[in-house]
């Protein structure tokens, strides 16, 4: 079982994000709205025993709810030599100390449960599309055309432990446990 901790998004926001998706970028594989989420910590493969330890660690966390504003579009690229292509298109999140604090608490709890530290820097985002050799000019034009995207404040009242299973077309994400924020 593959696991990750994320913020589940309300359908009103998913619908707004889905309205951004569409044609215009050859090679883009658009993420279906039911799979939109903001990953707080990718865990990966976990045995049932390890999943139980993870659940106990997360259930012990206490935190307050907060609001997030989703804003702007961007891309992640393969890095390396100039000219490498973009790999994913995302919508970002306005800087938020409460989000950073929650993510840090989750990271600490998971390390105490025996997981290795996350090596990547936390970069909060929602993936809209995976890009496979998409023309950079088309990607740049799309980002420029939609970069003023801004959501209303979205209340965050819980975080979720998800499982991920590979499907025929895309991964299938299942909310396993929700952890309330006061």
Does residue 82 carry a pLDDT above 90? no
The pairing of beta strand 171-180 with beta strand 158-166: antiparallel
Strands 37-45 and 2-8: antiparallel
Per the DSSP assignment, residues forming a β-bridge with 163 are: 3, 174
User: pLDDT confidence of 47, banded at 50, 70, 90?
Assistant: very high
Whole-structure pTM value:
0.92
Angstrom distance (rounded) from CA 31 to CA 35: 7
Any idea which residues carry the catalytic annotation?
37, 125
Contacts for 131 with CB less than 8 Å, ≥ 6 apart? 25, 27, 28, 29, 75, 85, 86, 87, 88, 89, 139
| CATH class in words for 2-180 | alpha beta
Residue 81 has pLDDT above 50, yes or no: no
């Amino acid at each position: 079982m593959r696991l990750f901790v994320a913020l589940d998004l309300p359908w009103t926001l998913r619908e707004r994000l889905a309205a951004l998706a569409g044609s215009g970028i050859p090679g883009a594989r658009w993420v279906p709205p039911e799979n939109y989420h903001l990953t707080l910590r990718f865990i990966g493969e976990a045995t049932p025993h390890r999943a139980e330890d993870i659940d106990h660690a997360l259930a012990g966390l206490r935190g307050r709810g907060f609001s997030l504003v989703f804003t702007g579009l961007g891309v992640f690229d393969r890095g390396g030599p100039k000219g490498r292509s973009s790999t994913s298109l995302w919508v970002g999140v306005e800087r938020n100390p409460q989000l950073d604090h929650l993510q840090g608490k989750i990271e600490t709890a998971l390390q105490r449960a025996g997981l290795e530290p996350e090596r990547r820097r936390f970069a909060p985002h929602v993936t809209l599309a995976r890009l496979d050799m998409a023309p950079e000019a088309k990607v740049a034009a799309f980002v420029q055309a939609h970069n003023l995207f801004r959501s209303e404040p979205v209340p965050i009242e819980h975080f979720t432990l998800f499982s991920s299973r590979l499907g025929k077309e895309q991964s299938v994400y299942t909310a396993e446990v929700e952890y309330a924020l006061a």
